Amino acid sequence: MAQVEVLYQDEYLLAIDKPAGLPTLPDGYDRAAPHVRGVIEPDFGRVWIVHRLDRWTSGVLLLARSAEAHRALNGQFDARAVKKTYHAIVSGRPAWPERTLAWPLRADGDRRHRTVIDPVGGKPAITHVRVLERFAAAALIEARPETGRTHQIRAHLARAGHPLLGDELYGASGTIGVVERPALHARSIEFTHPITHQPLSIDAPYPEDFGTALAALRSPTP
């Protein structure tokens, strides 16, 4: 696994640019496989996981470097005081400029272990989405989740008729040549420093595959 880029650090916090393919937590089937804590702790000492990104989602991931910071950050996440912004490349051209998706979600809801829409047994889930750029048969979307359900953005956009490019699990087809994974990137996170109480905003640049996919979509077709 390539070295993980550090976006911010002090004695209480660490924010990294998690590469796609690196799990946040240990793999239940292969405990020896690389994961965020295993990669980070040899250089930075013990860290606490504050929130998670899917294995194939790239972008900014916030970690605590003390139990005190961990507790305070957990409180902010529980109170929905942390603003997370994702960028996604989706199939199709949405007819709307922006929209709020609020279908209840149930994790591990079918034989393929997908998160499913479940109006009866699902948990409340809210994702605000906005079109940033349209292409011939795709679009760049900003997604701001209020809640943090498993696969929330992927499931909500799929239900809206616009699955992520590269996300065959949630219905994308014929897109693997554009990007080889679900095209989702954690672009930024905004929160209050758990110790100094100063507002912080941390951004993660697009990784190579995401940027290459956008460049390909922007190129005029011969």
Cβ-contact 123, 148 below 8 angstroms: no
User: 185: how many CB neighbours lie within 10 A of its CB?
Assistant: 26
Task: Compute the distance between CA of residue 93 and CA of residue 81 in angstroms, rounded to an integer.
Answer: 31
Q: Which of 10, 30, 54, 203 is catalytic?
A: 54
Classified as helix, coil or strand, 196 is coil
DSSP E strands in the chain: the ranges are: 5-9, 13-18, 48-49, 58-64, 83-91, 98-101, 105-106, 116-117, 127-134, 138-145, 184-192, 199-203
Is residue 54 among the annotated active site residues?
yes
Q: Which two tokens stand for residue 96?
A: 């709307």
Positions marked active-site: 54
